[in-house]
Amino acid sequence: MLIIIKLTGTNMGSLCNLCSNANINERTAITPRKKLSFDNELEGNEGNTYRSELKDSPTLVKRLSEIKIQSNMFIRENSKEPGEYYQKISLVGIGGFGSVMKVLHTLTGEYRAMKIIKRSESTLEGSILDEIKILKTLDHPNIIKIYEFFQDEKNLYLITEYCDGGDLFTLLTRGGQLNSFFTERIIRSIMRQVFSALVYLHSKNIIHGDIKLENILVDSENLSSFTKGNSTSLEIKLIDFGCSRKMTTEFKLTELLEGTIYYIAPEVIEYGKIHKKNDLWSCGVLLYILMTGNPPFNGKDDEETYNLIKNGKFTIPKNFYDTASKEVIDLIYQLLEPDMDIRIDAKLALRHKWFKFQTKLQVDLNLKSKVLSNLKNLKTEYKFQQAVQTFIAHNCISKEELKNIRKIFKYLDANGDGRISKEELKKGFKDSKDSITMGDLDLNIIMTIIDHDNSSFIEYEEFLQASIDKKKLLSEENLKQAFSNFDLDGNGNISADEIRSIIGKDIPEEVFVEVLNEVGLSIDSQLNFEDFNKIMGVIVEKK
């Protein structure tokens, strides 16, 4: 029999949404007595599992070209005190799990969010590790970004992006003039971003597991422009991956039902089936609430609500037919299809006819031309240089710099899956104001240079570091931060061992020597900042 848990959550989300102990039944809190480690094996459920698939398995590398440079190399535990790097500004939210603070990152001057999780309240240590591991693998403009984490005897501290526009639930229930701005056009923009994030997640076999209004944050600057009528869309971020799973096959829960009651799919309640299409049902509930202001399944108590969901029968208000398009009504029915096998998937949802009415994204044509020019003129870089730029792209680019380049990324990402393919890049060059025709050979060269993780696509942060002017990207301030990150022991020099611990401990010796030799280093080298600066300065000189 499934243990049913009603999870309510706060407006900033939490690990597994354990925000109100009063709403947690048949679970006993445990107090961690040792530091969590990514080296610990995580035990999964009997039969099909998801935890075992989250273990860090070394990728076998036989040659230099196979080394994948990814931002998750730099997302790790910081052994120092959070206060050495972050200044607390204000309390954002508080719940049974702990609290969320707005903090200032003193090195970059950028605001970030600090989730402080009380270890005495964390009932599943593994779920904390799972959320961090999943977030480390994600690189999408509409998914919250994690920077690092800390821990002490009392708390875990997760540092993520900060969005001070609030969550959709708060915005919708605030009342007043703001509600009138949530037109079908705006809702369509929100849902397209949610589906884009889900297409990306599902392509990586990751299920979010808790899609709801509270887990969608809004960018405040965009919100201000939106409420003044100067914008046709809201920039959103999907948060809270505490209930997420990485899996390759459907499996059944044996003990625990996770999620938020109004959004749980019927197959989860009835059979405990965990599948990617659970997320699509939740999207149907989300879309219904955004359009009507009420949940489609709302019983007098939990039991009645569960029965309504299992039956899958809902009604659409009569006046809704007079104000809403037939396309959005069709999408709601396809998402809230009780039969999981018939229910629409994320890719089909993103291609639904409702999105044909989406307003074309407006971008700065001069900036777009400059970005494409930067891509066209890229030169081959060495693995160490790629790693340094990857760190800078993930940690050092200001929110202001990101804003317009993110728009161009989304503009080029024609199918909205959160990645740019070779064909999409080719079309981007052709549609530019200079109408640049690129042959397959030239495109292959560009893709090879940008695609540091060998995925055959241009991921979001790969695009950022390729698009930004190299002089700006490799400024002395940014290079100092990168140098400090590589200098793990803080002695003022970067050793070969420190480089190896970041780029990959499992790289064969002979391949790692090639990594060093590319930039004139050896196993015995001690790299000071001056020499580090010279190695990175070559990139600017090549431009």
- Residues designated catalytic: 210
Distance CA(515)–CA(523), nearest Å, equals: 10
Task: Give buried/exposed letters for 231-269 (b at 16+ CB in 10 A, else e).
Answer: bbbbbbbbbbbbbbbbbeeebeeeebbbbbbbbbbbbbb
Distance CA(382)–CA(393), nearest Å, equals: 16
* CA dihedral of residues 308, 194, 92, 107 (deg, nearest 10): 160
Name residues whose C-beta falls within 8 Å of residue 330's C-beta, 6 or more positions apart in sequence.
352, 353, 354
The residues with which 420 forms a beta bridge, in sequence order, are: 458
Distance CA(19)–CA(322), nearest Å, equals: 39
Backbone torsions φ then ψ of 76, nearest 5 degrees: -150, 175
Output the CA angle 256-262-263, nearest 5 degrees. Answer: 70
Distance CA(286)–CA(248), nearest Å, equals: 26
8 A C-beta contact, residue 350 and residue 206: no
Q: Which two tokens stand for residue 472?
A: 């700006």
Distance CA(513)–CA(322), nearest Å, equals: 69
Output the CA angle 398-498-71, nearest 5 degrees. Answer: 35
CB atoms within 10 A of CB 46: 10
8 A C-beta contact, residue 332 and residue 343: no
8 A C-beta contact, residue 485 and residue 73: no
Using DSSP bridges, classify how beta strands 3-4 and 256-257 pair: parallel, antiparallel or unpaired: parallel
Alpha helices for 256-295 (secondary structure H):
266-271, 277-292
* 3-state class (DSSP) for residue 171: helix
Distance CA(540)–CA(543), nearest Å, equals: 5
Q: Which two tokens stand for residue 350?
A: 């993103």
DSSP 340-369: TTTS--HHHHHTSGGGGGPPPPP--HHHHH
Q: Is the dihedral of CA 394, 395, 401, 407 positive or negative?
A: positive
Distance CA(211)–CA(198), nearest Å, equals: 10
Distance CA(271)–CA(310), nearest Å, equals: 10
Q: Is the dihedral of CA 291, 296, 299, 301 positive or negative?
A: negative
